[in-house]
Chains A and B, each alone.
Chain A
């Protein structure tokens, strides 16, 4: 279970999260929604310990383990995986090089090249990328849709336990969104990871049967409820009385 208590996070000397509280059970899907500029991306980056985001106070625990002082590498090795709206491009490092290095490091032994190659070929097929993509530089010179699929290639290869989706649906056309949504659903069915989905739209959520929804405003969670909250938000907006009056499940 992920427990975030009284979290205060600063970025560029500005306090963005203040008294942020959120709990997510193992295997649960939590959707985080809220107006622009209220701290949705900040919580994603803070969870991954991005160097631009400083945890001032509060506690982040995963299954009882305190995460506050870990490095991004340690967070990654605990199985946290961030899938962002604009995946980083790195020229000169191929997907295969990267994944082989990570898997080798995490397992502490040399990667079985044949098994690795076999799995990578299967995953390329699964996510709908030509197998040549394993030798492409990370997200470099790829279209928006290809980048998201390339990130999903990493996801299926690394098999993380906690997935953070930071507006992964932004910039995707309907066909690309369908592919990404179905692949995420497939991953969820296969591995039952915990998921934090940050989104502005309900489109990506139709691929998941059950989830909770939290609303963030001014750097703190103001409401947590069932998936019914999404239709209320879509109908009335974030700050309506209908939202305020709905049942709080937390």
Chain B
């Protein structure tokens, strides 16, 4: 897959790229684009989706600091955001979606987990649908996995909807390992730690593609 170095504002018209980003750049999407942003150190960037564009964005962020990403969608746009946040310490991740035109669809699948004990992760997802727009669809699926007693995860699904002609849904789930799933795996003979490891693995790898999976496999410690 091609690497795409973005040092200043850039237009992408088609293709699949592994991004390398500078901070505070604006990426302009036209056409069908698939982007992978894997553990770049940028703290902030913006993506503008032009009319009739499609973007699938796969994003893994090992948070060492606050992080902010914004999307602006014009008309007849499709955005699929698959985002995984692996958090250290105390960080805030903000995702802003601005639906400014008509007939667009944004599906945000965001998952977060603390890697270190005593970490605090704050995920804010701001969805805005502009006044007088119509036929837009906004779906926010936000999940947090708590692995240790002293971790905290806070998720805020914020939706500011200025029109009646919209479909908007959000789902938030924060929790530890599912007790029934853990029991099921253990009762088949799996060691408790390995059962937890498999469940963590399944949580992290949800919706991710090969390139992200390779990255996750390198970070074996995060499954422990």
Contact = CB atoms under 8 A, between A and B. Distances in A.
Chains A and B bind each other: yes
Interface of A: 48-52, 71-73, 75-77, 80-82, 88, 90-93, 97-98, 101-102, 105-106, 138, 154, 158
A50 B190 contact: no
A154 B206 contact: no
Contact of B183 (A72, A97, A138): A72
A82 B183 CA distance: 11
Interface stretch (B52-60, B89-97, B191-199): B191-199
A166 B186 CA distance: 18
A71 B182 CA distance: 12
7 contacts: A52-B179, A73-B191, A75-B187, A76-B188, A81-B187, A93-B201, A93-B202
A90 B181 contact: yes
A154 B202 contact: no
Contact of A90 (B186, B187, B194, B202): B202
Nearest to A87: B184
Given A51-B179, A101-B198, A92 B206 contact: yes
B189 A92 contact: no
B193 to A, nearest CB: 10
Contact of A92 (B186, B191, B192, B201): B201
Given A88-B180, A90-B181, A90-B184, A77 B189 contact: yes
Contact of A102 (B183, B188, B199): B188
Nearest to B184: A88
A106 B190 CA distance: 8
Interface of B: 179-181, 183-192, 194-195, 198-199, 201-203, 205-206
Contacts of A88: 180-181, 183-184
* Interface residue SS majority, chain B: helix
B199 A48 contact: no
A152 to B, nearest CB: 13
B181 A76 contact: no
Given A71-B186, A154-B188, A158-B189, 18 more contacts: A50-B187, A71-B192, A73-B187, A76-B186, A76-B187, A76-B189, A81-B188, A88-B180, A90-B181, A90-B184, A91-B206, A92-B202, A93-B185, A93-B198, A98-B198, A102-B188, A102-B190, A106-B189
B190 A101 contact: yes
B198 A50 contact: no
Nearest to B180: A88
Most B-side CB within 10 Å, residue of A73, A98, A105:
A73
A158 B190 CA distance: 12
B198 A105 contact: no
Contact of A48 (B179, B187, B195, B206): B187
B199 to A, nearest CB: 7
B194 A105 contact: yes
